[in-house]
Amino acid sequence: MTHQYGDFQLEIYNAGTRGVLPRYPVDAATLERQATAALPEWILSYIAGGCGNEHTQRANVAAFEKWGIVPRMFNGSYERDLSINLFGLRLPSPLFTVPIGIIGICSQDFHGDLHVARAAARTGVPVIQSTLSMDPVEDLGPALGDTPGFFQLYTPKDRELALSLVQRAEAAGYRAIVVTLDTWVTGWRPRDLNRANFPQLRGYCLANYFTDEHFLKLLARKPEDDLAAATAEWADQFGYSLTWDDLRWIREATSLPVVVKGINHPDDARKAIDLGVNGIYCSNHGGRQANGGIPALDMLPDVVRAAGDVPVLFDSGVRSGTDAAKALALGATAVGVGRSYAYALALGGEDGVVHHLRSILAEADLLMAIDGYPTLADLRADAIRRVS
């Protein structure tokens, strides 16, 4: 029998016979509790918080409880194949880490982006690297090793700056550009507002801007030469609301696959595909950007149908391997994990992230084994039912 992700539990149990307990929790809830004690309050509020009264954030998580996997027996599921094809890449699993704009300051040394990239290199789980990082893409891309990375773009107002960021990501070895649509302005986030807490305005996670030749030319127009002037220029550039016309020039600007993040309506998926995108990313930003919305999981089936053969990435509310399996059963090509890997990073850096990703993959793999789904195609065929 070949190695399976679920074998991770045997490593843990066998270590237990020698008196060795897991260094990090295997579940997201315990990770969050322990990270709450490890993180400074101003970082924790940014990671844990959502928009408004956080109803949409909670609804994203609760939505998974409305769906159930139907067990199918006599399938001989000794071996499972969780690999996928995505943008011409053969990936060992359908898991990826979502872009988090302050992941860099979630590690104890404030180089969290590097820790996550190295965890990706060890696990084969791709990273979607945020534009907002503590280290520039030139350092992060090589740290991924043989694991592909995708670059998330917050499209700035200045088109030349946008092109510069895309070109740098290409040169650093990233394999796709993921354009975020729902964050040209930040949502109403009471946890952060009550602390007047906006880390980027304090100069954090702006390495890709502060090392960009075009941004530095823009900055040279400022009379001051200090951090306040640099962050003010970043803030001036950040708030750009994309139109369909922008998608055309972004598509023309790169030979890499282009993915649009924040799609929840099937009509938007169809139009984006008509304009040449290579992937649809169904997400509501984990409830951080707009409150009162429909859980992203509830929109996923319609988006998948509209996308046809175009791959659909998904995040929002994923906390476990079971959640990942349900999203895959509903048609997602790949599933992203967000807040929980930030907590793992806070507790254990690179090793903590590796442990968490292996835990999610092990849970998903064991679910497929026990419920009789040896492949993802089997899981997607007829595995899930609405239960409430």
Q: For residues 335 and 324, give the distance between their C-alpha atoms in angstroms, rounded to a whole number.
A: 6
Q: Is 214 a catalytic residue?
A: no
How far is residue 142 CA from its own chain's centroid? 19
For 365, list phi and psi in degrees, rounded to 5: -65, -45
| From 214, 285, 355, 356, the catalytic residue | 285
> 């609804």: which residue's tokens?
59
Active site residues: 285
